[in-house]
Amino acid sequence: MENGTIEQLQKKATLLRKDIVEMITAAASGHPGGSLSAADLITALYFKVLRHKPSEPEWSDRDRFILSKGHGAPALYAALARTGYFPVENLKTLRKLGSPLQGHPEKGKLVGIEASTGSLGQGVSIGAGMALAGRLDRKDYRVYVLMGDGEANEGQVWEAAMFAAHYKIDHLTVILDCNRQQLDGWTAEILDIEPLADKWRAFGWQVIDFNGHDFGQILKAFDEARRTTGKPTLLLARTTKGKGVSFMENNLEFHGVAPTTDQLQASLKELDR
Amino acid sequence: MKTKSPSEMKAAVQREKKLGLATRDAYGQVLVELGQADPRIVAVDADLSKSTKSGLFGKAFPDRFFNCGIAEANMVSVAAGLASCGKIPFASSFASFLLCKSFDQLRMSVANPSLNVKIVGSHGGISLGEDGASQQSVEDFALACALPKFTVLSPADEISCRALVRLAAEHVGPVYIRTGRPKAPIIYTGSEHFQLGRANKIVAGEDVTIIANGLLVWEALVASDLCRERGISVAVIDLHTLKPIDEAAIIAAAEETGAIVTAEEHLLSGGVASRVAQVVAEHHPVPMASVGIADTYAESGTPAELMEKYGLTAKHLVQAVESVLKRKK
Ligand SMILES: Cc1ncc(C[n+]2csc(CCOP(=O)(O)OP(=O)(O)O)c2C)c(N)n1
Ligand SMILES: [Mg+2]
């Protein structure tokens, strides 16, 4: 997927966003806010950054991606479908009985899913394990984990942060979707976790603080992570929850509530502009 | 076996399903009332207060509410600290995260010193639906029952939930209460008596007793109606307190009906089936059958679809009743 110019990536991201609002509306439940905030990051990963073969999902040299904030599943499912892991029309089955597209990703149920998530806080640890296995096997795959800023409340995240730095797991990159909101409200009010960059640096990580909706900055950040040796990298992506749909942006209501069909139409119209 | 009388048939056809509040809503409301009456009541939550409904308490008493963020283990140990200094903390999250993520904290911070902490897990079972297995809780009874001295409660409807939450607050000692996401059918009228550790017999019967908790109590009532139409007389017991278990009620059921069917929205091991079977086997062995979730996690789907697929409906209870009757001497 080396042909991802910034303009092409923006188009893909819009496609993913449309998929996201459509599939969540069809399911009548799900998490639009956090799916949309991560859409650009996931687009960059799947269409540019990851070394992967959608036709051979178990390829042992593939880069691994873990969606630690499992409720962002619609963004991941859209990326998997749009890169050819499974037919796009299957997106409509999200959250339906018997569908491999579970409300939160489950490894073994859907191709391309590397870990079962949905209980927040575990992805960085799993990613560290995968990266260590790659080191033991002398493989050069990289491991990417996308997590939420609310998720950073979990103690396990910091256990993993200590661990990955101690073992100098420099082929592990964690992307923190810092949209400043969690479920009950603004992170600053629920449990303030800033200054995040200082915290991760203090834990021994390389930290890159950037705009998570600017593909120029996103690609540069991933590049820098790839070139960093001796320590893991935290990509502190500053994002907007609900990004791309004006009435969802920074709107706490859309953390875990599906759009109505009217809201879907309005969303698609905006995204098409 | 009795044959059905016309009046009983009518009753069977007529049982009307009236949906009340979800038990989580009833919990949130009572918590506010408790907070008004007793300044020692405090609440902690782990970024789910909108869903667990502890947020109602947070609104009413912002000074006595502490949102711990998405950090369940920390929350449980904080609750232990509050309790050891005289507060009565209610710690809420989804049942799965509360029990699974904080189990050692429940073990050492709370259960070992037997502190007066109330933990309330909402979205119990699989009936939360579409969010799927990671948010569902099929093992919380087993885990909670494995904590010595814990009282373990699973109310069936808003009325019993209100009563049990009040009793839990009065009780000195650790309590786990499972609440649910969907609206729950009304079982009680409000005039019934509730006591921790005392099961409520809500239907009398002669041939089999169904012992259920949570949403399965309603299914048991419907099953008893369906069985009556077939000439089978089924008693129904609401085992709202799973621990300490009401041995007397279970032994009496075994003696009186000679067969028992258990029903729960939980794995078949470690919950109602296991605990009732232990009492029955030790005191008055009779044939048993159990309705619950086989050795698996569930999945995404509507609540009704999941209850059907995982075998948790009145229809499945009727089958269990028929199977156990075949083994009854
Ligand atoms: C261990 C755990 N506790 C609670 C939840 C419920 N929950 C789902 S999403 C969410 C908020 C997540 O906030 P954040 O990580 O910032 O994600 P985003 O803002 O990107 O949606 C919570 C509390 C969960 N999924 N897992
Ligand atoms: Mg967030």
B139 flagged as catalytic? no
- Residue A6: CB atoms within 10 Å: 14
pLDDT at B9: 44
Half-sphere exposure of A148 (CA within 13 A, CB side): 32
A273 — pLDDT class (breaks 50, 70, 90)? confident
Q: Which of B156, B140, B264, B149 is nearest to B200 (CA)?
A: B156
pLDDT at B1: 43
**A118-148: burial string, b at 16+ Cβ within 10 Å, e else:** bbbbbbbbbbbbbbbebeeeeeebbbbbbbb
Per-residue pLDDT, averaged over B179-201, amounts to 98
Atom of ligand 1 nearest to the CA of B47: 23
How far apart are the CA of B69 and the centre of ligand 1, in A?
Answer: 9
B15 — pLDDT class (breaks 50, 70, 90)? confident
pLDDT at B187: 98
Query: Does ligand 1 have an atom closer than 6 angstroms to the CB of A117?
Result: no
Phi, psi of A39 (to 5 degrees): -60, -40
Question: What does the block give as tokens for B12?
Answer: 């069977």
Q: Which of B287, B305, B285, B306 is nearest to B297 (CA)?
A: B306
Atom of ligand 1 nearest to the CA of A37: 20
pLDDT per position as a tens digit, A13-47: 999 999 999 999 999 999 999 999 999 999 999 99
How far apart are the CA of B176 and the centre of ligand 2, in A?
Answer: 29
pLDDT at B329: 77
Per-residue pLDDT, averaged over B123-134, amounts to 98
Q: Mutation test of ligand 1: which of B45, B47, B74 has the most ligand atoms closer than 8 Å to its C-beta?
A: B47
0.90 surpassed by complex ipTM:
yes
Residues of A in contact with B100 (CB under 8 A): 119
Mean of all residue pLDDT scores within chain A: 97
pTM of the model: 0.96
pLDDT at B315: 98
Peptide bond just before A195 cis, omega within 30 deg: yes
Q: Write down the domain spans for chain A.
A: 6-272
pLDDT per position as a tens digit, A172-203: 999 999 999 999 999 999 999 999 999 999 99
Phi, psi of B91 (to 5 degrees): -105, 120
Give CA–CA dist B304/B324, Å, rounded. 25
pLDDT at A3: 58
pLDDT per position as a tens digit, B94-123: 999 999 999 999 999 999 999 999 999 999
Q: Which of B70, B54, B53, B306 is nearest to A103 (CA)?
A: B306
Q: Which of B72, B219, B264, B265 is catalytic?
A: B72
- Per the CB < 8 A criterion, the answer to whether B299 and B327 are in contact is no
Give CA–CA dist B99/B254, Å, rounded. 32
Three-state DSSP state, B262: strand
pLDDT per position as a tens digit, B212-248: 999 999 999 999 999 999 999 999 999 999 999 999 9
For chain B, give the percent of residues with pLDDT over 90: 95
B5 — pLDDT class (breaks 50, 70, 90)? very low
pLDDT per position as a tens digit, A92-112: 999 999 999 999 999 999 999
Question: What does the block give as tokens for B321?
Answer: 């009743």
pLDDT per position as a tens digit, A230-263: 999 999 999 999 999 999 999 999 999 999 999 9
pLDDT per position as a tens digit, A143-176: 999 999 999 999 999 999 999 999 999 999 999 9
- Per the CB < 8 A criterion, the answer to whether B108 and B239 are in contact is no
Give CA–CA dist B205/A25, Å, rounded. 47
Nearest CA-CA distance, residue A33 and chain B, Å: 15
pLDDT at B3: 44
From 3.40.50.970, 3.40.225.10, 3.90.1310.10, 3.30.430.20, which CATH number describes the A6-272 domain? 3.40.50.970
pLDDT of B14 > 90? The answer is no
Sign of CA dihedral A83, A86, A90, A93: negative
Q: Using CA atoms in the order B78, B84, B87, B92, what is the torsion angle rounded to 10 degrees?
A: 40
Judged by CB atoms closer than 8 Å, whether chains meet at B47 and A150 is answered as yes
Structural domains present in chain B: 19-185 (3.40.50.970), 197-327 (3.40.50.920)
Half-sphere exposure of A164 (CA within 13 A, CB side): 36
Phi-psi region of B246 (alpha: psi -120 to 50; beta: other; left: phi over 0): beta
pLDDT at B230: 96
**What is the full DSSP assignment across B267-298?**
ESSSSHHHHHHHHHHHH----EEEEEE-SS--
